[in-house]
Amino acid sequence: MSDVILAIDFGTSNSLVGAFRPNERIEALPLDPSAEDPTLMRTLLYFPDASQCYYGNEALQKFIEFDMEGRLFRSFKSHLPNKSYLGTMIENRILSLENLIGIFLLEIKKRSEKILGIPIERAVIGRPARYSMDDVADGFALHRMKKAAEFAGFKDVLFLPEPLAAAFDYRRQSKTEKIVLIGDFGGGTSDFTIMKMSDQPFQKSDVLSVDGCPQAGDALDSVFMSERLNVSFGAKTQYRLPMSSNVLSMPQSVMERLTKPSHIVHLKERETYHFIQEVQKCALRDDDKKALQRLFILIEDQQIYSFFEEIEKVKRALSDKATATFSFSYPDLETNEIFSQQEFQVWSEKVRSSIFTALERCLVQAQLKDHQIDHVFLTGGTAYVPFIRQEFASRFGSQKLETKSFFHSVLSGLIEGAAHWDLLQESRPTI
């Protein structure tokens, strides 16, 4: 067996890979040569048909080149705890979610082996502190990840919580003894670790607590759609079925798919698509019929990805501006809306509450109060959202706060985790 261990930060939006072999750290590998940052590979799969697949930045390029025909998958990691999501069908090819993720991990493995010139069978793969707040669903998600890793050809895999990996990275720079809270905000999850830092060799007892929640950047993106933009796609449609006097409203279950980038592609599934067509025929208002036509254009012309890219830009702009304009110019989908930082905060209250409830659990597990935390290290784009950052500053003091948006923090910690492979193997049931 090769002595190289891959370190894989498999993210909802982006993925990175490094490696470790005895006495040597191998930092982020250039997996995606066509990307602006070759070490940052977008977590994208594109199937122009059932027999071809493209990955990362090339997936997006080919999707555009082939006139947006076929299927582009993004944020598919977020389906892991969902027992009702079994997978998808592309033409006559059935792909389970485990296979979809396994196909992506296999490509990562092949590219890494080509760069390093050696077959690799072991990997440390990052996982959120919680895929789901439901313990059964969380365990189910991890089981699916194990199956995906097996599909990719890994013989031995250690799943390391991402906030613990971020703590490992921070620990490498630590010279004095202190208690540090690490917050790692990704696309799908917000995760926390409280860890004792020092210049002494790592011990399992240094990890005081790990917790998190499945709410982060994607959930914040979705509020723009659910609170306002979805109206122009028929969210408030009322309709009356033939031979019935009952006035019905568009089911929430259908509109929920519209709010999430990972779910919206499933509006094109035959049963759901035909249902929306029937609703359009029976809609009571002409404006609702027009709005549902916009929804069909969004789906059929494959504008979903581009639409949510614009939402992401607005969210980032609101990090340092009081207002931001959402502008989308695709024919028949033209949209111009001004959003304010204040309304974004109000809409995001449920997400904010979930994030800080997870933080509270982490402090309780560590048996610590706010004032006993010596330093707070935050990483990920959501850490820059004003109402998130302000609450950390208020609770712990702005002088204790350090925020970094670079993508390589978790990866660096996963490499460090690979360096402690034997020690972490002993603690698999708890870490």
Q: Could you report the average pLDDT of every consecutive run of 10 residues in the chain (431 residues)? A: 89 91 92 92 92 92 83 86 85 90 97 96 92 90 96 94 82 81 85 86 84 88 92 93 90 84 73 90 94 90 84 90 94 94 94 95 95 90 87 93 73 88 62 44
| 136: Cβ contacts below 8 Å, ≥ 6 apart | none
User: Domain residue spans in the chain?
Assistant: 5-174+407-426, 219-315
**Alpha carbon distance 12, 19 (integer Å):** 20
pTM for this prediction: 0.74
**Alpha carbon distance 87, 102 (integer Å):** 12
pLDDT at 262 (0 to 100): 66
**Alpha carbon distance 176, 391 (integer Å):** 26
pLDDT at 173 (0 to 100): 73
Is domain 5-174+407-426 annotated with CATH 3.30.420.40? yes
91 burial via Cβ count (<10 Å: 0-12, 13-18, 19+): exposed
For 214-280, the three-class secondary structure string (H helix, E strand, C coil) is CCCHHHHHHHHHHHCHHHHHCCCCEECCCCCCCCEECCHHHHHHHHCHHHHHHHHCHHHHHHHHHHH
pLDDT at 429 (0 to 100): 41
Structure tokens at 3: 């002595």
Grouping H, G, I as helix, E, B as strand and the rest as coil, residue 189 is: coil
Provide the strand spans (E) within 11-106.
14-21, 24-26, 41-42, 44-47, 54-55, 71-74, 87-90, 93-96
**Alpha carbon distance 274, 281 (integer Å):** 11
Supply the DSSP symbol for 55.
E
**Alpha carbon distance 370, 380 (integer Å):** 22
pLDDT at 349 (0 to 100): 95
**Alpha carbon distance 340, 314 (integer Å):** 10
pLDDT at 192 (0 to 100): 92
Cβ 192 vs Cβ 163: under 8 Å: yes
Residue 56 phi, psi (nearest 5):
60, -140
**Alpha carbon distance 353, 219 (integer Å):** 12
Cβ 328 vs Cβ 334: under 8 Å: yes
pLDDT at 407 (0 to 100): 61
Grouping H, G, I as helix, E, B as strand and the rest as coil, residue 60 is: helix
Q: DSSP labels for 340-403? A: EHHHHHHHTHHHHHHHHHHHHHHHHHHT--GGG--EEEEESGGGGSHHHHHHHHHHH-GGGEEE
Helices (H) and strands (E) in the chain, counts: 15, 20
pLDDT at 152 (0 to 100): 96
